Amino acid sequence: MGQKVDLAVIGSGGAAFSAAIRARRLGKSVVMIEQSTVGGTCVNIGCVPSKALIVAAEARRVAADAPGRFPGIATMAGPVDMPGLVGGKQSLVEGLRSAKYVDLAESYDWPIRHGVATFTGTPDAPVLRVTGADGTPEMLEAAHYLIATGAHPWAPDLAGLEQVDYLTSTTAMELTEVPESLLVLGGGYVALELAQLFARLGSTVTMLVRSRLASAEEPEVNQVLESVFADEGITVVRQAQLTTITQDEATGEVTATATVAGRTGQFRAQRVLVALGRRPVTEALDLETVQVQTGVGGEIVVDDSLATANPRIWAAGDVTGHPEFVYVAAHHGAMVVDNAFTGAARTVDYSHLPRVTFTSPAIGAVGMTEKQALAAGYRCNCRVLQLDYVPRALVNRDTRGFIKIVIDEDTGRILGITAVAKDAGELAAAGVFLLEGQQTYQDVATMWAPYLTMTEGIKLACQSFTTDPSQLSCCA
């Protein structure tokens, strides 16, 4: 039959490593199967490389803006050395992949098999067949199996797209030249981050967006980002319904045709980036053999404990269609092991899940939006504090953005916090503790808050429910 282990993990990203580490700490034997590069999306083609490039592009933008922003400072931003920038990014990726993934597997003493995993056997006795590069299959039998294969960029069924050399979030970060112009299809977090990244590197960027920017967040987010993007030369075309896309064979120029407000228009650029979402990676697994169900988007159907319809098979991370954050995947992985081997009966709860988009200024949010609170039946109240009232933003000479607090009017309890600001992710993280502690706006309005920090803005926003913020002195 081949090797027998306690846990067989398919994939090697955040969910996979979290599960394997937890299992080894419980004394369980583990085998990990990876058909591509160890480390999964986050370290190789997602969070780490994108944020490394975003920070570099922001440094260039600050250099270009500094003379007008800070009196007495003279700076300039020269052309971008893309091979050098991409090479530095890749060195960082390789270092983290080694330290946080490959070396850890060796430290915890579990093997990584390289090959394509496919389920075989029966639903009652599932077995994995792992086929290596030489075509030789290896059979693995486990007490429990974890599918943590992640997701990949998705492209829509758009007329002409198959004939276009389009970019994805993966390939865009491998470019060795800055495109003179770039069309970005989408308005979600990937589209936002990469649109601003390439604009700051020197591209002329146009975004074609189906509804509005960051459509899942508060509408004030779109208002601020549209203004910010306009200032940075990014054209945002909202309510754009794509119909066709073509590429000129001679020049390589891409032309997208879209209907906007009832009128048909054409949008041209040197390159096009498709950032319209991701889809779970499940194609090679042969899930039907072991009676594991998938949803309409290809996601593996799991219950709140992350169990599939097969009691020996679990799924975690992006492959489940749950929120696509690496910290969600890591939480999933450890939870699966606890449920499978200790009977912990843990379940997922996203009510206080923080979410961050690394634009500049960034978007940070936790809890409910105003729309969600109303839909949940709350008699809610809100305050939107402009950053003009936050001393840290004034010192930064960057007051683009706001902090919005949503409360339950009946109890004063804070239901949600959204911020567009520098380091908005830190505000979302602080908000997690406030929501977990069921704090009211009255509680926060009288709490300690260090002066000249952005998190002081949460206190000021809570004070604004009862006080005009323009009538407050520093630290009042």
Print the SS3 string covering the chain: CCEEEEEEEECCCHHHHHHHHHHHHCCCCEEEEECCCCCHHHHHHCHHHHHHHHHHHHHHHHHHHHHHHCCCCCCCCCCCCHHHHHHHHHHHHHHHHHHHHHHHHHHHCCCEEECEEEEEECCCCEEEEEECCCCCEEEEEEEEEEECCCEEECCCCCECHHHCCCECHHHHCCCCCCCCEEEEECCCHHHHHHHHHHHHHCCEEEEECCCCCCCCCCHHHHHHHHHHHHHCCCEEECCEEEEEEEECCCCCCEEEEEEECCEEEEEEECEEEECCCEEECCCCCCHHHHCCCECCCCCECCCCCCECCCCCEEECHHHHCCCCCHHHHHHHHHHHHHHHHHCCCCCCCCCCCCEEECCCCEEEEEECCHHHHHHCCCCEEEEEEEHHHCHHHHHHCCCCCEEEEEEECCCCEEEEEEEEECCHHHHHHHHHHHHHCCCEHHHHHCCCCCCCCCCHHHHHHHHCCCCCHHHCCCCC
pLDDT at 252: 95
Average confidence (pLDDT) over 373-397: 97
pLDDT digits over 338-378, tens only?
A: 999 999 999 999 999 999 999 999 999 999 999 999 999 99
Q: Is the pLDDT of residue 4 over 90?
A: yes
Average confidence (pLDDT) over 155-161: 95
Average confidence (pLDDT) over 127-149: 96
- Looking at the domain that runs over 3-46+84-152+279-342, which CATH code has it been given? 3.50.50.60
Average confidence (pLDDT) over 313-330: 97
pLDDT digits over 263-293, tens only?
A: 999 999 999 999 999 999 999 999 999 999 9
pLDDT digits over 407-437, tens only?
A: 999 999 999 999 999 999 999 999 999 999 9
Over pLDDT 70: what percentage of the chain?
100
pLDDT at 3: 86
- Looking at the domain that runs over 355-468, which CATH code has it been given? 3.30.390.30
Q: Comparing 473 with 312, which gets the higher pLDDT?
A: 312
Q: Is the pLDDT of residue 151 over 80?
A: yes
Sequence ranges of the chain with CATH classification 3.30.390.30: 355-468
Q: Comparing 85 with 476, which gets the higher pLDDT?
A: 85
Q: Is the pLDDT of residue 147 over 90?
A: yes
Q: Is the pLDDT of residue 2 over 80?
A: no
Average confidence (pLDDT) over 399-411: 98
pLDDT at 288: 97
pLDDT at 476: 80
Average confidence (pLDDT) over 169-190: 97
pLDDT at 474: 87
Confidence of residue 87 (pLDDT cuts 50, 70, 90): very high
Sequence ranges of the chain with CATH classification 3.50.50.60: 3-46+84-152+279-342, 161-276
Q: Is the pLDDT of residue 466 over 80?
A: yes
Q: Is the pLDDT of residue 1 over 60?
A: no
Class of 161-276 per CATH? alpha beta
Q: Is the pLDDT of residue 322 over 70?
A: yes
Mean of all residue pLDDT scores within the chain: 96
Confidence of residue 99 (pLDDT cuts 50, 70, 90): very high
Q: Is the pLDDT of residue 475 over 90?
A: no
